[in-house]
């Protein structure tokens, strides 16, 4: 019997890494992501399998929690074939290079500090460096395209379907023969919702003998996206018309592009007050370029923009500030600016510079449009802290702080159930990529609405499929 083991995203949302071992000795790994937040220490532990024995690495999408340990996998012996979309490899390069850079920088800082007390040998080396990322790009890559079935030999084939989560994110179906019987296992990857401005809705699948489904928001339904759009519009109008500025900490991939589309729609309708909008994040600017390059995979709305304007995200008020000197010039603007900058959870990046210049002023507004993980500066502010420390300086927050929860790139409980109900034949259900308490709520709801059992996958548990 084929076996699946999860070495990440088991009873937690990060570190996605699932191993499918087939009877004929072929091993497929689905994602190899980084653990983040309170489980970060897991990244340094051994994988739980021998990377040199993996034949194929299938990547669902380019978020760090799905790709962040690939350089480590290669360092430790993986030399098989990567199968994914070309755009995912492009986005992954931006994400992994940024991750390597941050690791190298924090290692250098920690090393210098430790040197002063003679403990530099105890400072852990980065998980990987930029050179390790380059090695990933020397491996053979087989391009996946939606709906095309790739044969891997040995009676194995894989099909990538649109997951609607970020650019070219995939649901992956793997079919193989076992004792003369054809079987299919589906990994949902991260599933998007049906109301995304930038991404088309997730594809419907016909059948699966086993489904490994994400359960990030298995416990709840989101506030409507429309409501969130209106909320953002109201904040922008009020702040800009009051000669203030709006700061939006944003994730580089997907959320930024969605916010840009929203602002462009507002501009089109004549609802956006005259202002200057700055996309002040090199990583988000690069990601936006990659989105443009693969525009065929984006929503109808994006392609309509492209046809009409010759650009998807651009419009007269928008400025890209790639270089540091351009970013610093924003500080000279007194009012009527919307500044979108990273990091999304404010634990670094250019947003901190803008915090220093703008948060003490009550005319300004700070708008959170993404989930803030516990322990981050963003979360502290969302939870009510109004005195923060940035670059060793205390700052009192007098700007209005808003949190808009409806912009999620993930399906919510009813989206997930509806998606599963659309299968014509669905075998066993396994829950991955979710926190345990939320998975339990989801499990009950699946039983109630679908009259089916769902199993919550534990780390490294052996599951026959």
Is 214 one of the binding residues for Zn ion (CB under 5 A)? no
List b or e across 17-40, with b for residues whose CB sees 16 or more CB atoms inside 10 angstroms: bbbbbbeeebbbbbbbbbbbeeee
Contact call for residue 168 and Zn ion (CB under 5 A): no
**Residue 90: its H or E element:** helix 86-115
310 vs 331: CA distance, rounded Å = 31
Minimum CB–partner distance for residue 297 and Zn ion (Å): 16
Q: Is 258 in the site for Zn ion (CB under 5 A)?
A: no
Rounded to whole angstroms, how far apart are CA atoms 8 and 11?
A: 8
Residue 63 or 354 having the CB closest to Zn ion: 63
Q: Minimum CB separation from Zn ion for residue 443, in Å?
A: 22
Q: Between 29 and 152, whose beta carbon lies closer to Zn ion?
A: 29
Segment contacting Zn ion by CB under 5 A, of 34-42, 189-197, 231-239, 295-303: 189-197
Task: Write the binding mask 58 to 77 for Zn ion: x where contact by CB under 5 A, - elsewhere.
Answer: -----x--------------
State the minimum distance, in angstroms, from the CB of residue 33 to Zn ion: 9
421 vs 433: CA distance, rounded Å: 20
- Min dist. Cβ of residue 440 to Zn ion (A): 22
The span of 88-96, 190-198, 224-232, 452-460 binding Zn ion (CB under 5 A) equals: 190-198
Q: CA 260, CA 317: separation in Å to the nearest integer?
A: 11
Q: Does 336 bind Zn ion (CB under 5 A)?
A: no
User: Is residue 387 exposed (0-12), middle (13-18) or buried (19+ Cβ within 10 Å)?
Assistant: exposed
Would you say 63 or 438 has its CB closer to Zn ion?
63
Pick the closer one to Zn ion by CB: 79 or 405. Answer: 405
For the beta carbon of residue 325, count every other beta carbon within 10 angstroms.
Answer: 7
Q: What is the DSSP letter of 336?
A: S
DSSP 179: T
Minimum Å gap between C-beta 61 and Zn ion is: 6
Nearer to Zn ion, 251 or 368 (CB): 251
Q: How far is the CB of 25 from Zn ion (least distance, A)?
A: 31
Q: Pick the binder of Zn ion from 90, 168, 190, 229 (CB under 5 A).
A: 190
Distance in angstroms (rounded) separating the CA atoms of residues 232 and 406: 10
The helix-helix angle for 282-293 and 86-115 (nearest 10°) equals 170
Partners of residue 19 on adjacent β-strands: 5, 29
User: Which range in 126-134, 183-191, 288-296, 361-369 contacts Zn ion by CB under 5 A?
Assistant: 183-191
Shortest gap between Cβ of 415 and Zn ion (angstroms)? 15
Q: Rounded distance, CA 260 to CA 313, Å?
A: 6
Q: Is 31 in the site for Zn ion (CB under 5 A)?
A: no
Stretch that binds Zn ion, among 26-34, 188-196, 210-218, 319-327 (CB under 5 A): 188-196
User: Under rule CB under 5 A, which residues in 410-429 are in contact with Zn ion?
Assistant: none
- The CA distances from residue 378 to 203, 275, 347, in Å, are 34, 25, 7
Is 253 or 262 the residue whose CB approaches Zn ion more closely? 253
If the CB atoms of residues 63 and 183 are measured against Zn ion, the closer one turns out to be 63
Nearest-approach distance from CB 451 to Zn ion, in angstroms: 30
Question: CB burial class (10 A; 0-12, 13-18, 19+) of residue 64?
Answer: middle
Shortest reach from residue 172's CB to Zn ion, in Å:
14
Instruction: Tell whether residue 254 is a contact of Zn ion (CB under 5 A).
Output: no
412-441 as b/e, with b when 16 or more CB fall inside 10 Å? bbebbbebbeebeebbbbbbbbbeeebbbe
Q: Minimum Å distance from CB 412 to Zn ion?
A: 15
Q: Under rule CB under 5 A, how many of the chain's residues touch Zn ion?
A: 2
Distance CA 7, CA 17 (A): 5
Instruction: Pick the stretch among 4-12, 56-64, 80-88, 201-209 that binds Zn ion (CB under 5 A).
Output: 56-64
Rounded CA gap, 261 and 267, in Å? 10
DSSP codes of every residue in 396-435: E--SEEEE-----SS--HHHHHHHHHT-SEEEEEEEESS-
Nearer to Zn ion, 33 or 80 (CB): 33
Which segment (182-190, 289-297, 329-337, 366-374) binds Zn ion by CB under 5 A? 182-190
- For 118, which DSSP code? T
Q: Which is nearer to Zn ion, 64 or 306 (CB)?
A: 64
Nearer to Zn ion, 90 or 190 (CB): 190
Taking the CB of residue 150, how many other CB atoms lie within 10 A of it? 16
State which residue, 190 or 258, has the beta carbon closest to Zn ion. Answer: 190
Binding of Zn ion at residue 402 (CB under 5 A)?
no
Task: Classify strands 246-249 and 207-214 as parallel, antiparallel or unpaired.
Answer: unpaired
CA 423 to chain centre: 26
The least distance separating Zn ion from the CB of residue 166, rounded to whole angstroms, comes to 6
Q: Which residues bind Zn ion (CB under 5 A)?
A: 63, 190
């Amino acid at each position: 019997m084929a076996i699946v083991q999860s070495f990440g995203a088991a009873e937690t949302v990060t570190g996605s890494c699932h191993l499918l071992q087939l009877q004929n000795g072929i091993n497929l790994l689905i994602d190899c992501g980084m653990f983040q937040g309170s489980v970060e220490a897991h990244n340094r532990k051994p994988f739980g399998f021998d990377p040199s024995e993996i034949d194929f690495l299938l990547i669902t999408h380019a978020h760090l929690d799905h790709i962040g340990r690939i350089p480590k996998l290669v360092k430790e012996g993986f030399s098989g074939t990567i199968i994914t979309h070309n755009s995912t490899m492009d986005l992954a390069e931006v994400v992994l290079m940024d991750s390597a850079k941050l690791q190298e920088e924090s290692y250098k800082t920690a090393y210098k500090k430790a040197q002063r007390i003679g403990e530099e040998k105890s400072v852990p080396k980065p998980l990987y460096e930029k050179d390790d990322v380059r090695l990933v790009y020397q491996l053979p890559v087989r391009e996946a395209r939606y709906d095309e079935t790739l044969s891997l030999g040995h009676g194995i084939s894989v099909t990538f379907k649109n997951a609607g989560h970020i650019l070219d994110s995939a649901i992956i179906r793997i079919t193989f023969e076992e004792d003369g019987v054809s079987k299919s296992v589906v990994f949902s990857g991260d599933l998007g919702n049906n109301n995304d401005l930038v991404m088309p809705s997730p594809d419907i699948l016909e059948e699966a003998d086993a489904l490994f489904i994400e359960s990030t928001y298995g416990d709840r339904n989101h506030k409507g996206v429309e409501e969130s759009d209106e909320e953002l519009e109201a904040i922008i109008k009020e702040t800009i018309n009051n000669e203030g500025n709006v700061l939006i900490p944003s994730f580089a991939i997907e959320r930024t592009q969605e916010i840009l589309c929203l602002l462009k729609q507002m501009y089109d309708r004549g609802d956006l007050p005259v202002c200057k909008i700055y996309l002040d994040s090199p990583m988000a600017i690069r990601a936006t370029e990659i989105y443009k390059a693969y525009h065929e995979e984006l929503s109808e709305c994006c392609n309509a923009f492209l046809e009409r304007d010759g650009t998807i995200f651009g419009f007269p008020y928008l400025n890209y500030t790639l270089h540091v000197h351009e970013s610093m010039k924003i500080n000279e603007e007194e009012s009527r600016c919307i500044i979108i900058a990273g990091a999304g959870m404010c634990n670094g990046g250019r947003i901190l510079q803008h915090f220093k210049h703008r948060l003490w002023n009550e005319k300004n507004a700070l708008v959170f449009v993404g989930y803030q993980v516990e322990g981050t500066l963003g979360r502290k502010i969302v939870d009510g802290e109004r005195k923060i420390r940035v670059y060793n300086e205390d700052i009192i927050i007098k700007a209005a702080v808003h949190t808009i929860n409806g912009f999620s790139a993930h399906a919510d409980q009813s989206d997930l159930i509806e998606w599963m109900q659309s299968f014509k034949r669905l075998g066993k259900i396994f829950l991955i990529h979710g926190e345990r308490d939320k998975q339990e709520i989801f499990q009950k709801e699946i039983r109630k609405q679908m009259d089916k059992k769902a199993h919550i996958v534990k780390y490294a548990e052996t599951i026959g499929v």
